[in-house]
Each structure stands twice: as structure tokens, then as C-alpha cells.
Amino acid sequence: MAPMNGTTCRLCGALLLDPPALTLERVPVGAQAFLDSPGDLNQHATVDLILAECAGCGLLQLRNQPVAYYREVITASSVSATVLSARRQQFCAFIDEFGLQGKKVIEVGCGKGHLLDTLEELGVQAWGLESGSASVAAGRAHGRRILEGYPGETTASDPIFDAFFCFNFLEHSPHPGEFLKGVRGLLKDGAVGIVEVPNFDNDISIQRHYDLVIDHLLNFTSQTLGLTLAFSGFDVLSVGTCWDGDSIRMVVRKRAPSNYQNWKTNNPVLGKMNDILADPESGRVAVWGASHEGLTLVSMVNHLPVCILDSAQFKQGKYEPSRGIPIVAPGELESRKIDTVIVLAAIYSEEVVQTLVHRMGFCGNIFRVEKGLLVQVQGRH
């Protein structure tokens, strides 16, 4: 995790550009920091917001410390009939598109869990994750399934959810990478989700800086939200805006680990090299090329070649580091009585073959790599 001294990026750890993109003086210390009376006014009720751009990933972010309640979702909007109606339509389409009927979904940062009722009505098993204990208690009192905690800080053991939603919450996180890693930990491989954050593209294009609030440590554009999600193990399936352009909406899928098992075990060049080196008819075998391709392959073969030929003088007289095979000048081809040459010289392979045949008059077997296969280009088949 990057040190949080206000000079390095909360996502990638690169330096924040100086001077800052914008400094706003004397704004409220928090969107929820209401006073009980005008007499409570004092200098501690305001703060200077410092908005800086990361020199690495470009993410715009506040240098300020997070508000004390950043783990909690505090909103009045989830009870609005307009929002509920729009969410219902959105959920309907999402559930249909990804076949989520009957599946387990979770809203990360659910507050009291109002949206869980709508999701349940649409035929999914809806859960919420919320850190504010009063909200958790209030939601549970309505019979809603709410896990208490914060992404990355829950005790949930196995990843169990097929989908997730995260609405206007990620931008509050001081450590977005850790936050999204925590979300990933709740999900099955291949799980899908919707992430919405305030649309800072909008703020930039209409020169609107009054949206800045200390609660929103991260001010995402489409580009930096996409980077943040990709950097955190999610493939972005679609990008759009919603709420009249005020929010960016991305549909994402948890990236599953790729399967490299066949790639590691079914290497046709290595297999063919082993065949050639094990075949008595190959006679004395040399490899041409003490570069990465040849050295790596030679370190893995079952039977060793007699020597490695290489025209680089600084390699000649040395030994291959994993098996101790001598590296010699191509001119030693004859004195070492080589019958078969396996050319592993990458882009120089054709040139090496031409040298062997026309300049050195080599009449033995020659193999070289073509289109990922080791093929014989001279000699008895």
C-alpha cells in the first residue's frame, strides 16, 4: 500500500503532480458535518481541499485525509421514488442479461438496504455490505440480509456472490485498490457487477468545481475509473453515463485467472528437441544460439547437446549456466564432429541456416523454428 502522506497516488503509488490542479479554501469539513447551531461555527468546521493529479495513472484525488465516516453509506436518495423506479429498470435489465435469477448478489455499501427489497422482488437473493452499525441494525430490523463490514475488512470466508453493485461509494475510499480487492474477495470468478461514481468528466467539461467535497477523495473520469477497475482485477464490459450524465456507470466482470497449464506442458519445440536429442540417428547434436530462446530450452531438455554454437565472441569459451554445456565458435562445427544442428536464433535463424549450408558447407541435419514448430530444413527425414 502506498504511504498516505498526501504526495503519492492512492491507486498506483506514483507521485502526485505539484502544484495541485485546484485548491478550494474554506469548504465544509464534511458533507455530513452539520452544525447544531450557528454558535458552533469555528475554524474547525472548514478545510482547504487540495485536488491533485497522479503523474502515473492520472487519477484526480484529494490530498486531504478521509472523513471519519468514510466506511459508511449515508444517503437520503435511496428512498426517492424516482431513484427506486430507475434502479428497478436497471436491475431488471442486468438480471436478464447475465441470467442472475435465483443467484446471490450483494450491494457493497448498502446503507440500510433499501435497494435490497427491490432486488428481492426481482427474483435474486439480495445481500448488502455496510459498515455503519446503526444502518445495519435498521436494515436487519426490516428483515434484510446485511453483512456488517467494509470491503477487505470483512470476515466472510469463501467468495460466494455472482454479482455486485457499488453505487457512489468507491470515490470515498482512501485506498481504492484495497477496496476493490476486498470486493473481489466476495465474488466468484466471472462474477459481474455495476459500479457507479460521480462523473468528473462532466465537472471538467462544464467547469463545475463546486461538486468537490472532502468525502469524495477520488474524482473519476471514465478513463481513470476504467484504469482503476482494470488495475484491480476487473474487465470492463461496458461504459456509460447515467442520472443525466452526473454519474459514470461501468459494467464489469471479475477477471478469472488464465489457464496456462497446456502452455507449460505441451510445448511442441521442446517436445521435438527431446525427440531429436534422444534419437541415435541424430548423432552428435549442437544447438546454435546462446540467447534467451536457446538457453531456456537447453535448460529444460532431457538429453544434452554436445555444445552450443554462437558467433558472439564474448560468449565463446563460456558455459551455459544451467547444464554446463560449452559455448563455442561456429568454426568448431567440424572439429566437434557435429551431425545435427538445432538452430535457435530467433530472427537470425534463416541467416544462420544460410551460413551453415552455403558458407560452411554443412551437410548434416538442420532444424529450425518455423511458426512455433521445430522443423527439419536439411538432411534425412
Cβ closest to Zn ion, residue 179 vs residue 288: 179
- Rounded Cα distance between 156 and 263, Å, is 34
Query: DSSP for 58-103?
Result: --EEE-SPPPTTTTS---SGGG-HHHHHHHHHHHHHHHHHTT-TT-
Residue 217 sits in the site that holds Zn ion (CB under 5 A): no
- DSSP summary character for residue 21: S
Cβ closest to Zn ion, residue 183 vs residue 218: 218
Minimum separation from the CB atom of position 161 to Zn ion (A): 28
Residue 52 sits in the site that holds Zn ion (CB under 5 A): no
Cβ closest to Zn ion, residue 50 vs residue 57: 57
Cβ closest to Zn ion, residue 27 vs residue 236: 236
Q: What are phi and psi of 268, to 5 degrees?
A: -65, -30
Minimum separation from the CB atom of position 11 to Zn ion (A): 5
> How many other CB atoms are there within 10 angstroms of residue 236's CB atom?
16
Minimum separation from the CB atom of position 228 to Zn ion (A): 9
Cβ closest to Zn ion, residue 11 vs residue 214: 11
Which range, of 24-32, 41-49, 58-66, 231-239, touches Zn ion by CB under 5 A?
A: 58-66
Minimum separation from the CB atom of position 14 to Zn ion (A): 5
- Rounded Cα distance between 27 and 45, Å, is 8
Residue 225 sits in the site that holds Zn ion (CB under 5 A): no
Minimum separation from the CB atom of position 56 to Zn ion (A): 4
- Rounded Cα distance between 227 and 245, Å, is 20
Pairing of strands 218-219, 285-288: unpaired
Q: Where are the beta strands (DSSP E) in the chain?
A: 22-28, 46-53, 60-62, 104-108, 125-130, 145-148, 161-167, 187-198, 218-219, 234-242, 247-254, 285-288, 307-309, 327-328, 340-343, 365-370, 373-378
Which range, of 50-58, 72-80, 213-221, 269-277, touches Zn ion by CB under 5 A?
A: 50-58
3-class SS of residue 122 = coil
- Provide the terminal-to-terminal Cα distance of the chain, rounded to the nearest Å: 58
Cβ closest to Zn ion, residue 57 vs residue 309: 57
With a CB cutoff of 8 Å and minimum separation 6, the contacts of 53 are: 16, 17, 21, 59, 60
Number of residues binding to Zn ion, judged by CB under 5 A = 8
Which range, of 33-41, 48-56, 107-115, 118-126, touches Zn ion by CB under 5 A?
A: 48-56
Instruction: Pick the closest to residue 111 from 83, 91, 90 (CA basis).
Output: 83
Minimum separation from the CB atom of position 63 to Zn ion (A): 13
- Rounded Cα distance between 178 and 150, Å, is 10
- Contacts of Zn ion in 3-32 (CB under 5 A): 9, 11-12, 14
Q: Residue 332 is placed in which grid cell?
A: 568448431
Minimum separation from the CB atom of position 17 to Zn ion (A): 10
Minimum separation from the CB atom of position 177 to Zn ion (A): 10
- DSSP summary character for residue 244: T
Query: DSSP for 349-367?
Result: HHHHHHIIIIIS---SEEE
Residue 191 sits in the site that holds Zn ion (CB under 5 A): no
Residue 57 sits in the site that holds Zn ion (CB under 5 A): yes
Cβ closest to Zn ion, residue 9 vs residue 170: 9
Cβ closest to Zn ion, residue 52 vs residue 73: 52
Q: Residue 271 is placed in which grid cell?
A: 517436445
Cβ closest to Zn ion, residue 191 vs residue 195: 195
Cβ closest to Zn ion, residue 144 vs residue 175: 175
- Rounded Cα distance between 309 and 329, Å, is 6
Residue 51 sits in the site that holds Zn ion (CB under 5 A): no
- The single residue among 54, 73, 273, 333 that binds Zn ion, judged by CB under 5 A, is 54
Residue 187 sits in the site that holds Zn ion (CB under 5 A): no
Minimum separation from the CB atom of position 217 to Zn ion (A): 13
Minimum separation from the CB atom of position 249 to Zn ion (A): 22
Residue 56 sits in the site that holds Zn ion (CB under 5 A): yes
- Give residues in contact with Zn ion (CB under 5 A): 9, 11-12, 14, 54, 56-57, 59
